[in-house]
Amino acid sequence: MKGLLLDNGVLQFRSDLPVPHALEGEVLIRVLRAGICNTDLELCNGYYPFEGVLGHEFVGIVAAGSQEWVGQRVVGEINAPCGACSICEAGRRLHCPERTVLGIVGRNGAFAEYVVLPQANLHRVPDDLSTDVATFVEPLAAALQIREQVCVDGDQRVLVVGDGKLGQLVAQTLALTGCKLGVIGRHAHKLALLKERGISTYFEREVELGSFDLVVECTGHAGGFSLARSALRSGGTLVMKSTYAGALEVDASALVVDEITLVGSRCGPFAPALDLLASGEVEVRPLIQDRFALDRGLEAFARAAERGVMKVLLDVSEE
């Protein structure tokens, strides 16, 4: 099959990859569409020593497995825990030490014609939800995870740092809480998308530092973290929503003195993400910047890595 393989730090398009074999409890999925995210770019830059097929944002059709699923258009949760260790039994399956993670840790991903996932990870895509829009379920679920971890209400001043793909989704989900929300960014055209949805936006020079109850860092850069930290009031909460390639310097003493709560936030719930996309409460179509066929995947990655580019989709196969 065709696919994009990360091998020894080098991304390559291959047409000779073996079609994966589904084990017991798994299904084989024919990939329709896949989205390139910053984590994919960071893996290419050495964020984590992964080798294999990249890609974890996808929509596909089940090609083989349980008959109740064959032919269904699906999205899939990316973590595959062992289900048997003490951490899984305690209900913390996303943190299973033996888990594989689609296109990130120990499991080939969705930038290929076929991918394998446990049946338990699947969610059906509603018939009236387009494949392009459904490709955003995974990153939207990750944005929703913040609300699973932190109480957000209408009395709080909340700032999202970053106007990129992730920042846009985080802002739209937080806006639904009624909080006093603002987004800081560097790109007028991206901030305009948020303004259209009634969300306040700022450039860096306009932000009142030390005044926010909750700040969400969505840039994955040291400068973004520094700005997020300085915007936070004493006793506030800083949510780190991006992975970082390389080390990040932190003034740990200041975190202690100012009694800052630091929250790492990763994957989130798929079902409410599907509901929000189906209802139109979150709008993602303006975030699609470009699209490429799978055999132009290297061009797609180059495009996705350009400064200011939003979501780049891979058209893997036809529906």
The pLDDT score that the predictor gives to residue 244 is 76
Q: So where are the chain's domains?
A: 3-136+284-315, 143-264
CATH number of this structure's domain 143-264, picked from the four choices 3.30.450.40, 3.30.1120.10, 2.160.10.10, 3.40.50.720: 3.40.50.720
Please report where in the chains the tokens 């079902």 appear, as a residue. 271
The pLDDT score that the predictor gives to residue 21 is 94
Q: Which CATH superfamily is domain 3-136+284-315 in?
A: Medium-chain alcohol dehydrogenases, catalytic domain (3.90.180.10)
What's CA 166's distance to the chain center, in Å?
Answer: 7
Cα(182)–Cα(202) distance, rounded to whole angstroms? Answer: 7
The pLDDT score that the predictor gives to residue 45 is 87
The pLDDT score that the predictor gives to residue 232 is 97
E strand or H helix that includes residue 222:
helix 222-231
The pLDDT score that the predictor gives to residue 32 is 98
Domains 3-136+284-315 and 143-264 equal at CATH topology level: no
What pLDDT tens digit does each residue of the chain (319 aa) get?
999 999 999 999 999 999 999 999 999 999 999 999 999 999 998 878 899 999 999 999 999 999 999 999 999 999 999 999 999 999 998 899 999 999 999 999 999 999 999 999 999 999 999 999 999 999 999 999 999 999 999 999 999 999 999 999 999 999 999 999 999 999 999 999 999 999 999 998 898 899 999 999 999 889 999 999 999 999 999 999 987 767 788 999 999 999 999 999 999 999 999 999 999 999 999 999 999 999 999 999 999 999 889 999 999 998 8
The pLDDT score that the predictor gives to residue 47 is 79
Cα(164)–Cα(159) distance, rounded to whole angstroms? Answer: 14
The pLDDT score that the predictor gives to residue 290 is 97
8 A C-beta contact, residue 156 and residue 214: yes
Q: Partners of 31 in the beta sheet?
A: 60
Cα(5)–Cα(9) distance, rounded to whole angstroms? Answer: 10
E strand or H helix that includes residue 137:
helix 137-149
Residue 137 CB coordination number (10 Å): 27
User: For the whole model, what pTM was predicted?
Assistant: 0.95
Please report where in the chains the tokens 């793909």 appear, as a residue. 165
Cα(254)–Cα(210) distance, rounded to whole angstroms? Answer: 13
Q: Partners of 238 in the beta sheet?
A: 215, 262
Structure tokens at 310: 């939003």
